[in-house]
A and B are shown apart, each in its own frame.
Chain A
Amino acid sequence: MMGYFDRIHAGIPLRDVEIIDLHAHLGPYFNMHIPSSEARDIVRNMDLCGIDKAVISTTMSFEADIVLGNTMMLRALDSFPGRLYGACGVNGNYPDLSLAELERTFSRPDVVMIKIHPYNSKCRLDDPRMDSIFRFAAERQLFVLVHTWLDGDPYGNQDIFAEVAQAQPQIRWIMGHSGGPYGSRHAVELAKKIPNIFLDLTLSMCPARQVEYFVSEVGSERVLFGTDNPYIDPRPQVGRVGLAQISDEDKINIFSANARRHIAFR
């Protein structure tokens, strides 16, 4: 069996390890042209590098219409059962509608997470209007993925995220983007203090040695694979984890074993 380095440099998809992307989306988007934005494009790009499953939400849910966004998400799940799973998009500006969307989407077994984007919705993560959403997540001990940034984000920066995560210990919190390209150190500080925080690798500006740093500081069991597909292409992230200077066991944890421990993919 060729090692990760040789297989990646040969352009061979990583088929011997399951890869589950917990941070993916569905296009299109007002702010950019996305050449591969539809569900079939997303799955095609997953196939090219060996990603087996992706949990998707739509940014449509945060800056436009959560009902439309979640409906688009569910249609994509119908088109690719077993490959695409759902993260219900919620928006604190619409607490009742968000709860209704949670009830609607979680009636299906293939919706497995919640996605919150405080910055895009301009509703702070600790806003009281989020409480019913958190109750729903806590009762089911769900993964909640939150877009976070180190600074310049008064709605969902890492410190707000950490305070909420600490106050909601039943929920498994994914620190989306781990605070962005300069947020790695603070992400580790917070993850060490708060055990229900998981670190997300999704980024377009990937700091050198970030994967190795996270694994050495908090352990590979707390690091999750994500790509931002299709806003960002998924293939760089496969290269990043596959070529990282960590053990194969750590790579397996990140690629999918951690996700499998906490989510029942049916």
Chain B
Amino acid sequence: MTKLRFFDCNCSIGRVGYPHLLDIPDVAGLRREMTTAGIEEALVYHATARYGHPPLGNALLLDEIQDQRGLYPVWVLLPHHTGEMARPAQLLDEMKEKGVRAVRLFPGRTQHGFSLADWCAGELLSALQSARMLLFLDIELITWEEVHALLQKYPRLPLVLANCSYRHNRFLYPLWERFANLYVEMSRFMGAGAIEDVVRRFGSHRILFGTNMPQYTGTAAVGRLVYADISRSDKEAIAAKNLDGLLGEVWS
């Protein structure tokens, strides 16, 4: 088997206050981790946009990855009501101009302090759906009821759950039975045989390759996929093509 092309949907740059182990704050550090694991391309958000302030981190991101081949920007967004970010229509124009095709939201009191409900994030979520923007949410920060409500309300908004673990199949499977716009990235989706089971039941298009580098190593997710007991075409889809396809639909 020739080497798969890996396009990682779950990477970041920037220093974090509580690193898992090493301080790997910059593009060079991320590149080193990618090279070690054999990963060619990545969607990247800035840790400062998550742990500092979204507008500041988003600006730093564009500055730090400009001219970096194979690294693509992910912005962290807020609803517009406080004026920290532009209204959704204007925000989308700016994102289109800057080549941003994926976003992350960190709702909840302990995170960015807003709600995913319509009265708070409805205008933003509607705009994201109209652009077919790829939306990443960390399942450790929201409830499964919120996920269900989001999928039901925004059926054309591609939602990628990050941080899903080997303990989540009983939540995920009923949602996959009902909703076509739900995806999982595989940085922690490591239950024994889970990839094979999901591919058999729901299809390989439901899973995106992700690592959470440089907090986690990329080598674990690579090992999981290269040895998966699925077809070569399913491996290629998970490794890169699913993400290629979803990004290709943004603005369509």
Q: Which residues of chain A have a CB within 8 Å of any CB of chain B?
A: 5, 8-13, 27, 31-37, 41-42, 44-45, 48-49, 181-182, 184-185, 204-211, 213, 229-240, 242-245
Contacts and interface: CB of A to CB of B under 8 A. Distances in A.
Contact of A243 (B24, B193, B197, B223): B223
A240 B223 contact: yes
A36 B169 CA distance: 13
Contact of B38 (A9, A204, A232): A9
A245 B36 contact: yes
A208 B21 contact: yes
B131 interface: no
Contacts of B156: none
22 contacts: A11-B1, A11-B227, A31-B167, A32-B169, A32-B191, A34-B166, A34-B191, A35-B191, A181-B20, A205-B216, A207-B20, A207-B216, A207-B217, A208-B22, A213-B21, A213-B22, A230-B191, A232-B190, A239-B221, A239-B226, A243-B36, A243-B219
Nearest to B228: A235
A49 B223 contact: yes
Given A10-B2, A204-B188, A232-B192, A209 B22 contact: yes
Given A208-B33, A236-B219, 14 more contacts: A10-B2, A13-B227, A31-B167, A35-B193, A204-B166, A206-B219, A207-B21, A207-B215, A208-B24, A239-B222, A239-B223, A240-B217, A242-B219, A243-B223
A27 B169 CA distance: 15
Given A48-B227, A213-B21, A231-B166, A239 B192 contact: no
Contacts of B91: none
By CB atoms of chain A within 10 A, which of B188, B191, B223, B229 has the most? B223
* Size class of the B contact interface (CB-based, 8 Å): 35 or more
Interface of B: 1-4, 18, 20-22, 24, 33, 36-38, 165-170, 173, 188, 190-197, 212-224, 226-229
A10 B2 CA distance: 6
A232 B187 CA distance: 12
A233 B226 contact: no
By CB atoms of chain A within 10 A, which of B212, B216, B221 has the most? B216
Contacts of B193: 34-36, 41, 45, 230, 233
Contact of A208 (B188, B190, B214): B214
Nearest to B222: A239
Given A10-B2, A45-B193, A208 B215 contact: yes
By CB atoms of chain A within 10 A, which of B38, B193, B219, B229 has the most? B219
Contact of A238 (B22, B195, B213, B227): B227
Is chain A's binding surface mostly helix, strand, loop or mixed? Answer: loop
Contacts of B165: 204
A9 B1 CA distance: 8
By CB atoms of chain B within 10 A, which of A32, A33, A206 has the most? A206
A78 B248 CA distance: 52
Nearest to A188: B21
Given A41-B192, A42-B192, A48-B229, A9 B222 contact: yes
A35 B192 contact: yes
A235 B224 CA distance: 5
Name the 3 nearest CB pairs between A and B, nearest first.
A239-B223, A36-B193, A230-B192
A238 to B, nearest CB: 5
A29 B212 CA distance: 27
